[in-house]
Structure 1
Amino acid sequence: MAAANILIQCMTEQELDAEGLFWLGETLYVKGYYNQALALFEQALERDPEFREASAGAAVCYLRIAIEMIRQELVRSPSAGALAAQQAALEQRLRSAEGIPWRTVFHAKERRNQLAD
């Protein structure tokens, strides 16, 4: 928990570099917090506009957020057939975008530690 507190302190004092923001955004992405991850990826891009992984992470977050918004609208209006087609198209684009090697590759022990959180 001490590490999390240090990270939060660094964030509030804006001491994280682009890579730190990216890693935090990636962690939030894995946990399903796409809006928060997007904000961090965008901050990383503000600090380093050439950070391709952060750009790809932001794009994937935008796709996930759009798909979720369509899902919510389909619950309200199930007869909106055009939305269902848009959802399918976005899900296809998401699968393609997730094939881009933007995420950090963890070794087995690191992955176990990440999954334990």
Structure 2
Amino acid sequence: MNFKLILFFISLSASFVLSFFLYKQWTLATWFDALFLIGLLLIMIYSMMVLIEGQFFTTFLKSTRNFFAKTNKKDQLIRESEKRSLESVSFRKEFPNRLAFLQIGLLFSIGSLLVSSAIYFLS
């Protein structure tokens, strides 16, 4: 089994469990609500992975480290005497299966939204 299929079944079973925890009784409408929430969670996980890969937080940390290093005279003198630079070694984090989170999240969110609206308007 590949990662996408495993993620799909884990998310589907989590939506069943979540519908029991949130609503105390299981109905089709509550299950679609829980499925929508799981889909949004998967989309948020994908978004965080994109931010981490794009090094958004790394540049923020580097700029604050630079600012405090330049304002602290004691550290600046130590750095000059040891002949160190402010630049630290950076690495790039890549997530191999991040697209699966987006695809399954969109499938769950859009699918449950369409079915929920059809149930609401046809009832």
Same fold (TM over 0.5): no
Indicate the TM-score class for this superposition, using the shorter chain for normalisation.
Answer: 0.3 to 0.5
The two structures have a TM-score, normalised by structure 1, of 0.42
